[in-house]
Amino acid sequence: MPHNEEGDSPAALLPLLRTCVDRLLSTAATLSDEDVKALSLLPGWSRAHVLTHLARSADSRTRLLTSARTGTDLPQYANDEQREREIEEGAGRPADALLDDMDSALHRFLSAADDHPPHAWDVPVRWLGAGVRPVRGAVASMLREVEVHHTDLNAGHTPAHWPASFTRRELDATTAKLRTNPHAPPMTLCADEDQVPRVLGNGPGPRVNGPAAELLGWLTGRTDGHTLSIEPRGPLPPLPTWRS
């Protein structure tokens, strides 16, 4: 199903992002020093790693907005090593420091996006691992970071809590990306909400049915897909590792 380009514009997405940021911060505020040391849903990462990643991810997108607005060449990150080093260095902090850092970074991004000149959303900027692309993707990708990593905190925010408009857009984007992945298995995905067949891979494959949020949760590795139904009956196809 095609996206509504107007509805996917940065201006249209910002109110939803603000709501999602507030929900994330509310969850993070309940975590104690011991809680943030506990494992997240991401292999090898504690909750503190996730919180630090969210803060640095927001800062990286603020850099992209600054680059687009000023014409200064500011890449999202210098390289993968910088990104990983910043996360490791920040993950040992207590809960209140992690929360303050993430709160400040996310609100810096929201302020920068609010103030971004409308004519500058299509300015190309340097994304880590994705080359030169328009900066307009910063808001949608920040929303993805906030919602998916909120779930990764393993603190009660599941795919069922993802906003419906977010889930629809991300399900379309994720299936479109899988269509270009040679390791994607052949199958047809069908969300209960729209009954649109989303065909992946080459050749025949099973039909996987369920709520859009459960399909997206499975495709992104955030659920095991046990609530989904498969026709003909059998195991779910093995998926390639999800990359945002």
Residues 117 and 52 in one domain: yes
Q: Between 8 and 30, where is the model more confident?
A: 30
- Write down the H helix ranges in 71-182: 80-90, 95-114, 137-152, 164-179
Least confident range of 132-136, 201-205, 206-210, 231-235: 201-205
Q: Is the pLDDT of residue 156 over 80?
A: yes
Least confident range of 35-44, 77-86, 214-223: 77-86
Residues 36 and 114 in one domain: yes
- Tell me what percent of the residues of the chain surpass a pLDDT of 70: 96
Residues 201 and 108 in one domain: no
Residues 95 and 184 in one domain: no
Residues 168 and 147 in one domain: no
| Structural domains counted in the chain | 2
Q: Is the pLDDT of residue 89 over 90?
A: yes
- Burial zone of 182 (CB within 10 Å; 0-12 exposed, 13-18 middle, 19+ buried): exposed
Mean pLDDT of 168-192: 93
**215-242, pLDDT tens digit by residue?**
999 999 999 999 999 999 999 999 988 7
Residue 35 forms part of a structural domain? yes
Residue 239 forms part of a structural domain? no
Residues 169 and 152 in one domain: no
Residues 105 and 32 in one domain: yes
Q: Which domain holds residue 67?
A: 10-157
Query: What is the reported pLDDT for 202?
Result: 81
Closest CA to 10 of 131, 124, 98, 138: 138
Q: Evaluate whether 135 touches 65 at the Cβ level (below 8 Å).
A: yes
Query: What is the reported pLDDT for 130?
Result: 81
- Write down the H helix ranges in the chain: 10-29, 33-37, 47-70, 80-90, 95-114, 137-152, 164-179, 212-219
Residue 3 forms part of a structural domain? no
